[in-house]
Structure 1
Amino acid sequence: MTEAATGDRAHGWLEHYPVTFFAVLMGLFGVTLAFHAAAPSYLWAEPFALGALWISLAAFVLISAIYLLKALRHPRAVAAEWHHPVKLAFFPTISISLLLMATALAGPYPGIAGPVWVAGMLGQGVLTVAVISGWISHRSFQVGHLTPAWFIPAVGNVIVPVAGVQLGWVEVSWLFFSAGMIFWVVLLTLVFNRLIFHDPIPGRLFPTMVILIAPPAVAFVAYMRLTGGVDPAARMLVNMAYVFAALVLVQLPKLRTLPFALSWWALSFPLAALSIASFGYGRAIGSPAHEVIGLIVLGALVLVVAGLAFRTLLAATRGEICRPE
């Protein structure tokens, strides 16, 4: 292969580096926070949480640096992703990653967590308004463009209070929580209409079905932080997460027949959110059964993330990702 051809290949790889890579960070930081949530009941979990945090930070630097390089060298490719009806919803994964990072840092490194949280909160606010404005603009979206990935902007908003309350931003946290909840209700109606009355979700995007679990699970954790206890609304949220988990579990066998894509990382963060919610709920009401559920889901999460990391590296070496679609 000539030097020019090698350069063209590298150039093309960078141009097609997708924004969906930031979903990997959501999964990694989710593992960190799930181990941290397990630590009060299982002391062995805290060292794993710290190790997962450093791995997540390293991945954040790498993924962000590459995407920034893409933005500088191929701004038209980034603009094309922004105008893509499906990829548009993944841009808030950037700000969500910052919010999850701040939440993970709030315990061991609170001095760093504050500025990171503010950056994530501001980015989430801007991206939420921009994405939803894009949805309701003059652009025409087809029913087939709608997938559970559209929940991502809403999920990002309810993540804000998880660290925001601890950092003293209570009213801002209520603002984002309110926005996330209303958009979740609206999008849930639209997504179920699409799932029931229209063609099935394409195989490449089918793993995004697992995202159905994330909004009520994260909302439960955020609501607990905002109110400081378990009330009927909190109980409804955590049990909604279990209902969606059961619904998704029935659908998972379909994954065996699907080829790998970066969208498979959608499996990771919802599992982390469910594990964290289960640990929190179990301790709040004194239910060992719910803590066991959290531990089981944490085990499944570790296996899923390890498998996804291996499959992503394998796909990268085979040239199966970062190429034209």
Structure 2
Amino acid sequence: MQNLSVSTTHARLEHFPAAFFAMVMGLTGLTLAWQKAAQIVDAPQLISQLLLGFSASVFVLISLTYGLKLIRHRQAVLDEFHHPIKMSFFPAFSISLILMSVATLTVSMSVSKALWGLGCLLHLGFTLYVLGQWLHHPRFEVAHSTPAWFIPVVGNILVPIAGVEHGYQELSWFFFSIGLLYWIILKTLIFNRLFFHDPLPQKLLPTLFILIAPPAIGFVSYIKLNDGLDGFARILFYAALFLLLLLLSQLPKFTKIGFFMSWWAYSFPLAASTVASLLMLELQPSAFMLNLALMLLILTTAVIGMLLVRTVKAVLSGDLFQPD
């Protein structure tokens, strides 16, 4: 019985996916939404403080677990790292560091700066690696292109949110430019796949919500870089709002999908939309924007709460640790 238990633990560790880092992105995004809500609509600060502690704990736990997988199942990690779809989830680790740097700005500038620097360095490395793989595409097919491809390259658009606070204005523009340019290119490629090729498999359907994140978080970064609302900022915000409406109108299709780690793709885009709406409320106050921001805050909190419950159940049952 003990040998069976050890064997089961090893099997779970071997199939522990890098997609778990999407949890950290969602939880930290929710933390940022509640931090912004505390500033704009006088939400209780205690909520964001508790969320920050919980997000950091989950990040450490997932990092240690995946580090253990690297030690004990190195080949499984290498296989995942070279997989044409799964490789896109590794940069969720560096994005988590960048998001943590934003969330800790009010806690410790030195900790935030260290997290930001490490996150930027790692993410630039991931970006160069992934783009290099795409350029030489010995194993990539149209079927491999999914919205998850946004994570390694378009994720650069997050950098200015903390970068400007730390005084790295030009470096922030560098990362923002990468994220913005490749968002446009990759969005075109992804839409081409969705419009003219086989539809996404059900397991990957939730990744469609990732389409919302670049314009939503791009709006926040652009405001940081320009310190004001202008026409381009409005384009980014309303593009994100339209994509949110488009995907919410498809809700019946998403409710029929079994639970996978890909469900966490709902979390960060919703959180990014919430933060963007709260920022727009701050810059352009109106009853409509107030109601939108509050509804999104409630929706995002409820969705991530549901995702946590479903994830805990799936972890305990072992359903998330199955080979593809």
TM-score by length of 2: 0.98
Any idea what the Cα deviations from partners look like across 1:40-67, whole Å, max 9, x if unmatched?
A: 2222332111110000011011000000
Mapped partners of 1:293, 1:136: distance in 2: 41
1:14 matched residue in structure 2: 13
1:124 matched residue in structure 2: 123
CA contact (8 A) 1:15 1:70 kept: yes
Report the CA distance between 1:150 and its aligned residue.
0.8
CA contact (8 A) 2:34 2:43 kept: no
1:77 matched residue in structure 2: 76
Aligned pair count reads: 324
1:161 matched residue in structure 2: 160
2:270 matched residue in structure 1: 271
Alignment-mate amino acid for residue 172 of structure 2: S
1:283 matched residue in structure 2: 282
Report the CA distance between 1:275 and its aligned residue.
0.5
Alignment-mate amino acid for residue 317 of structure 2: R
Mapped partners of 1:273, 1:256: distance in 2: 22
1:299 matched residue in structure 2: 298
1:234 matched residue in structure 2: 233
Mapped partners of 1:297, 1:154: distance in 2: 26
1:59 matched residue in structure 2: 58
Mapped partners of 2:319, 2:117: distance in 1: 36
Alignment-mate amino acid for residue 15 of structure 1: E
CA RMSD of superposed structures (Å): 1.0
2:308 matched residue in structure 1: 309
Q: Which runs of 5+ in 2 are unaligned?
A: none
SS in 1 for 2:136: coil
CA contact (8 A) 2:154 2:182 kept: no
2:257 matched residue in structure 1: 258
Q: Which runs of 5+ in 1 are unaligned?
A: none
Mapped partners of 1:250, 1:44: distance in 2: 29
Is 1:106 matched with 2:105?
A: yes
Mapped partners of 2:138, 2:27: distance in 1: 34
Mapped partners of 1:292, 1:157: distance in 2: 30
Alignment-mate amino acid for residue 271 of structure 1: L
Report the CA distance between 1:252 and its aligned residue.
2.0
Give 1:198-217 correspondences, 5 Å limit: 198-217=197-216
Mapped partners of 1:60, 1:114: distance in 2: 18
Report the CA distance between 1:246 and its aligned residue.
1.1
Report the CA distance between 1:79 and its aligned residue.
0.6
Alignment-mate amino acid for residue 124 of structure 2: G
Identity %: 44
Structure 1 stretch displaced more, 123-132 or 217-226:
123-132
Mapped partners of 1:288, 1:154: distance in 2: 36
Mapped partners of 1:80, 1:247: distance in 2: 35
1:96 matched residue in structure 2: 95
Mapped partners of 1:45, 1:205: distance in 2: 36
Report the CA distance between 1:302 and its aligned residue.
0.6
TM-score by length of 1: 0.97
Mapped partners of 2:280, 2:137: distance in 1: 43
Mapped partners of 2:320, 2:190: distance in 1: 27
Report the CA distance between 1:264 and its aligned residue.
0.1
CA contact (8 A) 1:161 1:170 kept: yes
CA contact (8 A) 2:84 2:139 kept: no
Any idea what the Cα deviations from partners look like across 1:287-317, whole Å, max 9, x if unmatched?
A: 3421321111110011101100000011111
SS in 1 for 2:65: helix
Q: Which portions of structure 1, spanning 4 or more consecutive aligned residues, are displaced by more than 6 angstroms?
A: none
